[in-house]
Amino acid sequence: GAVVSQHPSWVICKSGTSVKIECRSLDFQATTMFWYRQFPKQSLMLMATSNEGSKATYEQGVEKDKFLINHASLTLSTLTVTSAHPEDSSFYICSARATWRGNTIYFGEGSWLTVV
């Protein structure tokens, strides 16, 4: 079936540094991908919609300069957390819309970010 892969699964970075998380659709093209953030024992909160070849659309309250999203190809979107701080530590999940499967949304495995 359709697969969405995220890399890395786990990452630890120092405060003040930047970290990039990749989201790939492995067997389908995705013009639209989504980035979510999930705090422990909480629900998923949509951060932004990533559109191939154009700027991402950010949800209210999400700092676009801090969470840089690039969707350079039909199978890859990246989320870069810039100048990371401990409060950015979270579980980040991406999803991709498979238009060829009735617009079904498939999720990646998620990426744990810990900022120390």
Partner 1 sequence: AQSVTQPDIHITVSEGASLELRCNYSYGATPYLFWYVQSPGQGLQLLLKYFSGDTLVQGIKGFEAEFKRSQSSFNLRKPSVHWSDAAEYFCAVGSTGTASKLTFGTGTRLQVTL
Positions that interact with partner 1 (CB under 8 A):
4, 6, 32, 34, 42-46, 49, 57, 91, 93, 95, 97, 102-110, 112
When the beta carbons of 80 and 112 are compared against partner 1, the nearer one is 112
Nearest 5 degrees, angle CA 31-CA 6-CA 76?
30
Strands, DSSP E only, in 40-116? Answer: 44-51, 57-58, 67-73, 76-81, 90-98, 104-107, 111-115
Please report how close the Cβ of residue 16 comes to partner 1 at its closest, in angstroms: 26
Please report how close the Cβ of residue 91 comes to partner 1 at its closest, in angstroms: 8
Please report how close the Cβ of residue 83 comes to partner 1 at its closest, in angstroms: 26
When the beta carbons of 77 and 108 are compared against partner 1, the nearer one is 108
When the beta carbons of 57 and 82 are compared against partner 1, the nearer one is 57
When the beta carbons of 57 and 80 are compared against partner 1, the nearer one is 57
- 82 within 8 A of 93, measured Cβ to Cβ: no
**Burial degree of 103 (CB within 10 A; 0-12, 13-18, 19+):** exposed
Please report how close the Cβ of residue 51 comes to partner 1 at its closest, in angstroms: 9
Q: What's the one-letter identity of residue 26? A: L
